[in-house]
Amino acid sequence: MASTFLLQKILILLIVWSPCPSTSFHTSGWITQKQHRCLQKDSWFVLESQQVSTVESDRQQQGEETTAPSKGALSMSVDELAEVLGGKGRALLAWDCYSIGIDPAIFFGDPTFENADEIRSLLPTQRRTQTLGKDALSKLSSLYKNNGGQVEGGVASLSHISRASDDTTKLLLKLQDGLEVETVIIPWNGVRSTLCISSQVGCRQGCTFCATGRMGRLRSLSSDEILSQMFFARKICRLENLPEITNIVFMGMGEPADNAENVIQACKILTSRESFQLSASKVTVSTVAPDPSVFSKLSEASCVLAWSVHAARDDLRKRLVPTTKYTMDELRAGLIQALLDRPANFKRTAMIEVALMSNVNDSLQEADELADFCRPIIEQVPGSKLIVNLIPFNDIGQEVYKKPTNEAVESFQQRLWHQGIYAHVRATRGDDESAACGQLATKKKKNQ
């Protein structure tokens, strides 16, 4: 979905750890020291500066899209990793660590690791006394050659953490090439958390109401880089006593359909019983639908499909999503076919997302058009469950679009209900720190 909309919770300003005295990790500032290691309770965070190499900076200024690193341990199933490490027991032990945000290359490679007993108590009973020896660690390092087999400091580094008043927590991750990507932990009622994941650095879809769309697309993320967001989020939830992550939404930065192969692989690992162990019904992939075929492609993933529609009328949709090349009828036909090709169970659930903007698409006329647009999906797909998510616009620092009134949103919702369309209003979370739906965009200066 152009990185943007189902996010809704997000961000900043309050780091609750007590960092080492020499670290430059601040609650409201950025890291400035290069490769500074500071032990944070149970694991090393590799804190790097935001400085991008001259080569990378030139590449960005010239508009050249960079490439993501190749597949590594995070993107491997237990069986695939077992072949590399020389045994399934080793692979299971490595994944026991990854799944709770512990880097096995660091944990088993550092004999002085602090709180090792506490970490082992989190592992399955049968593997608490096991270890990865030098041979396995050497083989693991071959997968991430850039930093001794480590996810932390290898695939990505935790560059900044910020927290909103509602505990929505945004993580800024620095990738190996110096680019940065955001992911957001959204706690709900102290019971569970949703993680909003990014699939690209920037986005090329150019939705006019979305901060990420203004960045353009710098590059797609590898499946390892996508999954590293879950790795770091699990770590932060554990250290900061945030509720467990039970839901994933691909609604952060980027358009998943423009990086379908890596998104599908990431979903496979997220829903694997031996990896991150999420239910497929709890993973949602949202797309703006660049063309009708993307629904069938993304339906290969173990996930629920969501479509960022924003307007049912072609002229208005083109205004909001200027990269649109197909009519709404053509795109809807693609979604219907993709749903029909799926088993008649929860996977036929589909979400229709609408970012409501005052005096743009929040009138009862647009509600009627949306109801008429949705009805054929329900009628033509047996066993389907259609949910319309209404998302009040979040300010991105421009004058064109405004947040709708609560009365307009409620009237829009009621109008859909009266026509037999279930509609849910997405609660805005993290907007006080520019972390709500549509507000994600890394703020890297072009002359860095």
pLDDT digits (tens, 9 = 90+) for 103-138: 999 999 988 888 899 999 999 999 999 999 999 999
Flag whether pLDDT at 395 surpasses 90. no
Beta bridge partners of 286: 306
Q: What is the DSSP letter of 281?
A: G
Q: How many CB atoms lie within 10 A of CB 412?
A: 25
Q: What is the pLDDT of residue 31?
A: 30
Residue partners of 300: CB distance under 8 A and separation at least 6: 264
Residue 56 CA to residue 54 CA, distance in Å, equals 6
Residue partners of 205: CB distance under 8 A and separation at least 6: 2, 213, 255, 258, 288, 290, 321, 323
Task: Compute the mean pLDDT over every residue in the chain, rounded to the nearest whole number.
Answer: 82
Q: Say what the alpha-carbon torsion angle 82, 87, 91, 92 is, to the nearest 10 degrees.
A: 130
Residue 329 CA to residue 429 CA, distance in Å, equals 33
Average pLDDT on 13-40 reads: 30
Flag whether pLDDT at 28 surpasses 50. no
Residue 175 CA to residue 155 CA, distance in Å, equals 6
Q: What is the pLDDT of residue 8?
A: 37
Percent of the chain with pLDDT over 70: 78
| SS3 state of residue 295 | helix
Q: Which amino acid is at 29?
A: G
Beta bridge partners of 181: 173
Residues 39-57: tens digit of each pLDDT: 333 433 433 333 223 333 3
Residue partners of 259: CB distance under 8 A and separation at least 6: 199, 200, 220, 221
**For the chain, what's the residue count?**
448
pLDDT band of residue 428 (cuts 50, 70, 90) is: confident
Pairing between strand 245-250 and 169-175? unpaired
Residue 389's closest CA among 8, 3, 79? Answer: 8
Q: What is the pLDDT of residue 33?
A: 34
Whether 97 is a known active-site residue: answer no
pLDDT band of residue 348 (cuts 50, 70, 90) is: confident
Residue of 152, 180, 182, 433 marked catalytic: 182
Average pLDDT on 46-69 reads: 39
pLDDT band of residue 70 (cuts 50, 70, 90) is: low
Whether the Cβ atoms of residue 66 and residue 59 lie closer than 8 Å to each other: yes
pLDDT band of residue 209 (cuts 50, 70, 90) is: confident
Whether 210 is a known active-site residue: answer no
Average pLDDT on 248-271 reads: 96
Cα maximum dimension of the chain: 67
| SS3 state of residue 259 | helix
Instruction: Please state which of the ranges 153-167, 270-284, 333-347 shows the lowest mean pLDDT.
Output: 333-347
Flag whether pLDDT at 423 surpasses 80. yes
Flag whether pLDDT at 326 surpasses 50. yes
* Structure tokens, 406: 């609560």
Flag whether pLDDT at 142 surpasses 80. yes
Residue 278's closest CA among 239, 207, 337, 227? Answer: 227
Q: What is the pLDDT of residue 36?
A: 33
* Structure tokens, 195: 């993680």
Whether the Cβ atoms of residue 194 and residue 9 lie closer than 8 Å to each other: yes
